[in-house]
Chains A and B, each alone.
Chain A
């Protein structure tokens, strides 16, 4: 390859840019799932919540012309759907995994049904901030156009890490998630804490969905999510329920998604299906790695059903 230097440079730039562009939905969903699981519940329905968020956010932006309002509505729609999960799971002897899967299917179906009229119209996109004023290279400029939601997600990850560790609310959430007996002894209202944890997690996942439809790729159709919501749940395990590690893991998954297209554009086309499968392969590898029978999951909330 004679023009090799510039090509490899641009692959690197494309992967970094792609990591930033693609990672935000992973980040929000995984932060949401972290909150939910820290309270002792699993919400597998976040994929459905993500799709409902994407649809409602897009629809709101189309109807009002206001993308930020779309983000808010997406979050509220996600919270509402997760409230269903929270309420059903509050009943005795209800399996949260099964409810989560039915919520996943219900959410995607609902979004496809209600989203039909919004496939054709174009919605205004969320703005981005240019962090590449120092560079004259258009590749770098494009890679470093960063959406505010990504930055918000980063700050939220730091905040959540701090809040879970040092605040009373964080302690309450962790106690409820780790040991029901201890929480009962301390007089916490377990159901209420779990409900709030699940609803807040749904809000975040809904916001993650609005990023998909309102920024990148910035459209609404039925193939919009290729399983990001489900992968984010695996990513939480990979990140060991640590919000800051969720951030790194999201970047890794985003970069893996961007790798295939970046390599193909420089002419490396053999095995492109393999590169395309990179994020899914990564998910599998994470699950196999974290499913060791010898050691318990470090950092896993004690009451989460995958840990019981």
Chain B
């Protein structure tokens, strides 16, 4: 019963728009042609202009909106509760959305539920945790940002004068470990002696702690800082004011630090546009998509003016290595920072080895923290 649980507000809204629509179609018959358009809904957990996670999805929304005949509707600050189901329902029933992008991890259960209720609508989720048995009109996708962090690490390793770099993490989760390891391994690939101080703040968003941590890292002599928090804006601005280099995360943060910005690890959620196109054309689409540079699911920010050409070339060469699958992120000999052997000499993990990456709960050698 799809109509159950319909809120009074949305009913009124719908009734109103029906009347308005009939009035408009009567007055302007030419507009009926526009009804062939397809509406795509984007749901964000925070403000879409946060210089961070949500902005990376907003960028994708703009790419989807650029597809011919597609209209995008958006809603910000939707909490990871039953609220998201109401938003989805209203987007489908009122706006006629045919594709829904749920851009926060915690939407997963609601998305699955609504996917059963609306089998004609395509749903996407950014956790890439779709498995056999889940509704087939759901797509899970996520990029390997550790590869982009590796490239940031190369730039950081080349630009650091002190040989110490700093990584600020939000929570001790597998992708934070992978990103940090990518950053350190990249830096060590150009400067084997480099060390990285890691601080986990414990919060997705805590500006005071992030600014304080950035100051502490700089006081310890770290001269390149990267922050894996929801909005790295505070950390980047603080580091810029202190005159040290920074790398970005999530989306393009170069305008925040005109002097010290090196490059940044960005998502490329644009595969969302491919899903929409395939879905509209009635072509098959994957239910699970993971990938790095090879699959064009991550990217790096434009280089800052501080980065010399030879470093840019080196970074771009490594990027090509990921694209050609000649550069492997995790390869032996590899130890963690407790001295445990992770990979023996000659042992290599493929960049697409998701099960291995999901199990990473250690920092590589050279990491302090």
Give chain A's interface residues, CB within 8 Å of chain B.
Answer: 7, 10, 13-14, 17-18, 21-22, 116, 119-120, 122, 125, 138-139, 142-143, 212, 216-219, 221-224, 226, 228, 257-258, 260-262, 264-267, 269, 272-273, 276
Contacts and interface: CB of A to CB of B under 8 A. Distances in A.
Contacts of A222: 46-47, 205
Given A221-B233, A260-B209, 10 more contacts: A21-B215, A122-B237, A125-B241, A143-B219, A217-B207, A218-B234, A218-B238, A226-B206, A265-B213, A269-B369
Contacts of A264: 198-200, 213, 216, 369
Contact of B50 (A119, A212, A260): A119
Contact of A14 (B208, B211, B219, B369): B219
Contacts of B241: 125
B71 interface: no
A14 B219 CA distance: 7
A86 B199 CA distance: 43
A142 B219 CA distance: 8
B49 interface: yes
Contact of B212 (A18, A125, A138, A228): A18
A77 to B, nearest CB: 20
Contacts of A267: 197, 368-369
Interface string B205-246: 111111111011111101000000001011001100110000
B272 interface: no
Contact of A224 (B197, B207, B219): B207
Kindly state the interface size class of chain B when it binds its partner: 35 or more
B256 A272 contact: no
Contacts of B271: none
Contact of A122 (B197, B219, B256): B256
Contact of B51 (A18, A120, A260): A120
A105 to B, nearest CB: 16
Contacts of B201: 261, 276
Interface in B315-369: 368-369
A258 B212 contact: yes
B166 interface: yes
B202 interface: yes
A266 B201 CA distance: 14
Contacts of A119: 47, 49-50
Contacts of B166: 265
A269 B208 CA distance: 19
Nearest to A219: B234
A261 B212 contact: yes
Given A18-B215, A120-B49, A142-B218, A272 B237 contact: no
Given A265-B199, A266-B220, A269-B200, A257 B212 contact: yes
A10 B219 contact: yes
A22 B205 CA distance: 17
B50 A221 contact: yes
Contacts of A122: 237, 256
Given A119-B47, A119-B50, A221-B50, A272 B219 contact: no
B46 A10 contact: no
Contacts of B219: 10, 13-14, 17, 138-139, 142-143, 262, 265
Nearest to B337: A267
Contact of B215 (A116, A125, A142, A273): A142
A22 B212 contact: yes
A14 B166 CA distance: 16
A223 B230 CA distance: 10
14 contacts: A13-B219, A14-B219, A218-B238, A222-B46, A222-B205, A223-B205, A224-B207, A226-B203, A257-B208, A264-B199, A264-B200, A264-B369, A265-B199, A265-B220
Contacts of A142: 215, 218-219, 242
A219 to B, nearest CB: 5
Contacts of A224: 207-208
B177 to A, nearest CB: 13
B200 A218 contact: no
A261 B197 CA distance: 11
A3 B210 CA distance: 25
A269 B166 CA distance: 14
Contacts of B47: 116, 119-120, 221-222
Interface string B70-96: 000000100000000000000000000
Nearest to A213: B207
B202 to A, nearest CB: 5
Contact of A272 (B49, B202, B212, B216): B202
Nearest first, the 7 closest Cβ-Cβ pairs linking A and B are: A217-B211, A223-B205, A120-B49, A261-B213, A217-B207, A265-B216, A264-B199
Max chain B CB contacts within 10 Å: which of A17, A120, A138, A142? A120
B216 A261 contact: yes
A221 B369 contact: no
A261 B238 CA distance: 15
Given A119-B49, A265-B199, A276-B202, A219 B368 contact: no
A294 B88 CA distance: 57
A125 B256 CA distance: 13
Given A120-B49, A265-B219, A223 B199 contact: no
Contacts of B205: 221-223
Contacts of B198: 264, 269
A223 to B, nearest CB: 4
Interface in B234-289: 234, 237-238, 241-242, 256
A218 B199 contact: no
Contacts of B209: 226, 257, 260-261, 276
B53 to A, nearest CB: 12
Given A18-B212, A119-B50, A261-B216, A223 B207 contact: yes
Contact of B238 (A217, A223, A273): A217
Contacts of B50: 119-120, 221
